[in-house]
Amino acid sequence: SQQGEEDPQALSIQEGENATMNCSYKTSINNLQWYRQNSGRGLVHLILIRSNEREKHSGRLRVTLDTSKKSSSLLITASRAADTASYFCATDASGAQKLVFGQGTRLTINP
Amino acid sequence: DAMVIQNPRYQVTQFGKPVTLSCSQTLNHNVMYWYQQKSSQAPKLLFHYYDKDFNNEADTPDNFQSRRPNTSFCFLDIRSPGLGDAAMYLCATSGDSLMDEQFFGPGTRLTVL
């Protein structure tokens, strides 16, 4: 069964707006990571947040983690056309000793 | 710049004709991974090497094999490609733990005719 599931599956917003994507997972984790994938390309690591952290920032990105709800969110502020991509969360399910990727959110930024 | 390189970027093969995809890294990372990703799906881990130790995922078909002759290079061999093996194949590395940040190559798009 899927460890991480993103919501929504697809999101389309206007340039300049904020985009929020959510990830839920089933079992306890050591860390949760977010990746971006441009069409036809490899994945690019964005942020890693550990289970004892609640929030991390990187430029226009903000990631929160709520271990009690087993969920994380990725916020992209002031979106740009170049942010158009698929965004994946990946978790290290406790005991699995590997990263498991969710299905991803396809984000489209309209100019 | 340190990076993960995959060759070729696009590969076309015929049904049943063996094919090899290659990956190299200049990061000197211990762990190398091969993922299969089909359209609009999550990357699916096929196997990984921790240094020279090979670790196969339980649901990876026998049709898929891998070699890591040295730290820098890793190969994915598909012995008898079927139509269902058409996908993007992603190579990734991480420093010293399977739960660290992973660095991905650009991928090889495999088409099976």
Q: What does the pLDDT read at residue A92?
A: 84
Rounded to the nearest 10°, the torsion over CA A69, A70, A73, A74 is 160
Instruction: Give pLDDT, residue A1.
Output: 44
A positions 39-78 inside 8 Å of B (CB): 40-45, 48
How far apart CA A57 and CA A26 sit, in angstroms, is 24
Please report which confidence band the pLDDT of residue A5 belongs to, taking 50, 70 and 90 as the band edges: confident
| A31 contacts on B by Cβ (under 8 Å) | 99
Cα–Cα distances (Å) from A57 to A5, A10, A49, A82, B103, in that order, read 22, 23, 10, 19, 20
At B29, give phi and psi (nearest 5°): -85, 150
**Facing residue for B98 by CB, picked from A40, A48, A97:** A97
A99 in contact with B, Cβ within 8 Å: yes
**Interchain pair B90, A43: CB under 8 A:** yes
Mutation for testing the B interface, residue in A44, A45, A88, A100 having most B CBs under 10 Å: A45
B68-85 burial, b at 16+ Cβ within 10 Å, e below that, comes to: beebbebbbebeebeeeb
Q: Count other Cβ atoms within 10 Å, centred on residue B32.
A: 25
pLDDT digits (tens, 9 = 90+) for A40-90: 899 999 999 999 999 999 999 999 999 999 999 999 999 999 999 999 999
